[in-house]
Structure 1
Amino acid sequence: MIIYPSLTEPVKMGVTAPSSGLHMEQHSLLEEAIYRMEQKGYEVVIGQTCWTEYKAKSAPAKIRAMELNTMLQADSIQLIFPPWGGELLIEILEHIEFDQIKPKWLLGYSDISVLLLAITLKTGIATAHGTNLIDLRGPMSDPTTAMWEKVLFTKKGEEVIQYPSEKYQERWQHDYPTEWIFHLTEPTKWKTISNSPMFIKGRLLGGCIDVIRHLIGTGYGDVQHFQKEIIQNEPIIWYLENCQLNVTDLRRSLVQMKLAGWFNNCSGILFGRSEANDTIYDYHVLDVYMELAEELAIPIAYDIDCGHMPPQLTFVNGAHAEVRVYNSGSIIKQQFI
């Protein structure tokens, strides 16, 4: 059974950096984001790890884990919202007290997806893959990004619907922020490998494939246990996004996931947009998707609003979902059941 956290206003938000923190010259980015959250009525508790960054991490693993454990176990904190991702969150997993976690929302993406997936797989607590806190520092949010609040305020037994964005951001321009932070210039179009309509149902799981692949073979990536004991053998819909992998590394990673049984009883896969996916010789990312679809005999959609080319949907790990990808209109409905 999936455990869905519940938000009750006023919401106390914990901000900690289980992966990367901020260098001093970046502090204003987080200060602006916190200001926006306080304007919305959130009470914000800020951890010390947010303000430091050294050797590709905010702090040593045990210190990051200690601060995170404190927030995970605090009854008063309803939402944990890291500033952004990073590189080495996986170092803290062995120090997380999973059996002491109080149900609460965790929201983020990139390296944070390692923590999200591990918590849902081990505990059955739903977690949310979506925007970074830093990306909410503007005075406005585009409609796709802004859905994070509606999704997290959805109660058990309710459902929430999201649609494709109108436009997406092709490249980051950190030195030229807009009111929305992003530069949404390119028309969004969700696509299917078959070029035909797609409709799938299942429980959502996913994240950034660059980092969640490293959970394979560990006690933090036991998908078979999750499927059998927590969702009673319901099919899984995987959503995956690629930050930095070229196509052959992506292919190796997907084959490893397949061999590890992660795609057993999978009803379909959704791939996010990516600036990576570099072609190797004549081997293209579409070849990867087509090969996987043929091997698994499942539908695959791509260029979904997910990952490092914003904006992105808020996917809830563990939620029951219905996904429709049509030329005339696409939709994802998540049910908290």
Structure 2
Amino acid sequence: MIKYPFLENGATIGVTAPSSGVPAELHGLLKTACERMKMNGFHVICGDTVWNQDKARSASAEKRAEEFNAMMLDDNIHIIIPPWGGELLIEMLEYLDFDNIQNKWILGYSDTSLLLLATTLKTGIATAHGTNLIDLRGEYSDDTTKMWQSVLSTKKGESILQQSSFKYQKEWEFDKPTPCIFNLTEETEWKSTSNSKVTIKGRLLGGCIDTIRHLIGTPFGEIQNFKENYIKGESIIWFFENCGLSTTDLRRSLVQMKLAGWFESCSGIVFGRSPANYPVSNYTAEDVYKELSEELQIPIIYDIDCGHVPPQITLINGAYAEVESNSGKGAILQNFI
């Protein structure tokens, strides 16, 4: 059975950097984000790791794990939100105290999704794939991003519906932040390999494919144990987003997942918009999706609001979901059961 944390009003946010910290020249972004959270009624506690960044990481693996473990055990901290992702979170997994992880939300994406998926698979505690803290520093959040708080305040046994965005951000313009941080200029269009209405039902699992693929074959990526211990063999909806892989690397990663048994009892797959998906010899991402759909005989929806091309829907690892795509629009109903 999945365990769902619950976000109370006035909760205390623990900010730690399990992957990349914030370099000195960008400390202003983090301070602004923390102040915005306080203005919105939260309390904020920042760990030491968030203020440092050297050699592609915030601190040693042991230090990062120590701070995360301490925040998990601290009853005065109710949710953990890293400032952003990074590159080397995988180093700290072996030092995490999964036996004593508390039932509190962890929210983020990119490299943070490695921590999210490992935690849900190891413990059965739901985790939240969505916005990071830095992107909550605006005067307000767009309609898609702002749903993170409503989603995390959903009670066990209840459900919450999220709709596809109206527009998305094509390119990051860090020197031109809007009041909601993102520059939402392009029309959102959810697509599917069948070019028709698609509905998929199952338990959500996923994250940034660049990083979570490295859980395959480790004690932190045991899908079969998760299915037997926490969802009793129910079907899975995988959600992936590609940060930087070429189409051939994406294909290799998906085939490896298939060979490792990750797609057994899979009812469908959804892919987020990608800033990458670089074609190789005219082999496109759409080719990858179509081939995978045909091989697995499952529906695939792509270009959804998930990942490094914001805004993004808050997706809960472990939740039972109904995902629908029709005529370019989409919706995700998540049930906390």
TM superposition score category, shorter chain reference: over 0.9
| 8 Å contact kept, 1:272–1:307 | yes
The correspondence of residues 119-134 of structure 1 with structure 2, limited to 5 A, is 119-134=119-134
Name 1:54's counterpart in structure 2. 54
Name 1:36's counterpart in structure 2. 36
SS in 1 for 2:214: helix
The correspondence of residues 294-333 of structure 1 with structure 2, limited to 5 A, is 294-327=294-327, 329-333=329-333
Deviations 1:190-245 (CA, angstroms, capped at 9, x unpaired) = 01111011011100000000000000000000011111111000000000000000
For 2:148 and 2:63, how far apart are their aligned partners in 1?
28
Name 1:275's counterpart in structure 2. 275
Name 1:172's counterpart in structure 2. 172
For 2:10 and 2:145, how far apart are their aligned partners in 1?
21
Name 1:71's counterpart in structure 2. 71
User: C-alpha displacement at 1:300, in angstroms?
Assistant: 0.1
Counterpart of 1:273, as a letter, is: R
| 8 Å contact kept, 1:75–1:102 | no
What do you get for the CA RMSD once the two structures are aligned?
0.7
Deviations 1:258-304 (CA, angstroms, capped at 9, x unpaired) = 00000100000000000101010121111100110001000000000
TM-score (norm 1): 0.99
Counterpart of 1:84, as a letter, is: W
Counterpart of 2:40, as a letter, is: K
SS in 2 for 1:128: strand
Are 1:243 and 2:212 counterparts? no
For 1:46 and 1:229, how far apart are their aligned partners in 2?
34
Deviations 1:98-135 (CA, angstroms, capped at 9, x unpaired) = 00111000000000000000000000000000001000
For 1:328 and 1:221, how far apart are their aligned partners in 2?
33
- Equivalent residue pairs, number: 337
Uncovered stretches (5+) of structure 1, i.e. residues with no partner = none
Counterpart of 1:277, as a letter, is: N
For 1:159 and 1:67, how far apart are their aligned partners in 2?
33
Are 1:231 and 2:231 counterparts? yes
Deviations 1:143-165 (CA, angstroms, capped at 9, x unpaired) = 00000000000010110000000
Name 2:87's counterpart in structure 1. 87
Name 2:150's counterpart in structure 1. 150
Deviates more, 1:88-97 or 1:75-84: 75-84
Counterpart of 2:149, as a letter, is: E
SS in 2 for 1:131: coil
User: C-alpha displacement at 1:175, in angstroms?
Assistant: 1.0
Name 1:186's counterpart in structure 2. 186
For 1:330 and 1:285, how far apart are their aligned partners in 2?
20
User: C-alpha displacement at 1:314, in angstroms?
Assistant: 0.1
SS in 1 for 2:146: helix
| 8 Å contact kept, 2:15–2:47 | yes
| 8 Å contact kept, 1:168–1:309 | yes
For 2:185 and 2:329, how far apart are their aligned partners in 1?
20
| 8 Å contact kept, 2:117–2:205 | yes
Uncovered stretches (5+) of structure 2, i.e. residues with no partner = none
Q: Percent identity?
A: 61
Counterpart of 1:162, as a letter, is: Q
| 8 Å contact kept, 1:271–1:304 | yes
| 8 Å contact kept, 1:78–1:105 | yes
For 2:329 and 2:313, how far apart are their aligned partners in 1?
16
For 2:77 and 2:315, how far apart are their aligned partners in 1?
21
User: C-alpha displacement at 1:75, in angstroms?
Assistant: 1.8
Counterpart of 2:69, as a letter, is: N
SS in 2 for 1:145: coil
TM-score (norm 2): 0.99
Name 1:252's counterpart in structure 2. 252
SS in 2 for 1:334: strand
SS in 1 for 2:145: helix
For 2:170 and 2:216, how far apart are their aligned partners in 1?
31
SS in 1 for 2:168: strand
For 1:89 and 1:301, how far apart are their aligned partners in 2?
28
SS in 2 for 1:256: helix
SS in 2 for 1:34: helix
User: C-alpha displacement at 1:7, in angstroms?
Assistant: 2.1
| 8 Å contact kept, 2:191–2:328 | no
User: C-alpha displacement at 1:329, in angstroms?
Assistant: 4.0
User: C-alpha displacement at 1:328, in angstroms?
Assistant: 6.8
SS in 2 for 1:86: coil
For 2:304 and 2:143, how far apart are their aligned partners in 1?
15
User: C-alpha displacement at 1:10, in angstroms?
Assistant: 2.2
Name 1:19's counterpart in structure 2. 19
Name 1:161's counterpart in structure 2. 161
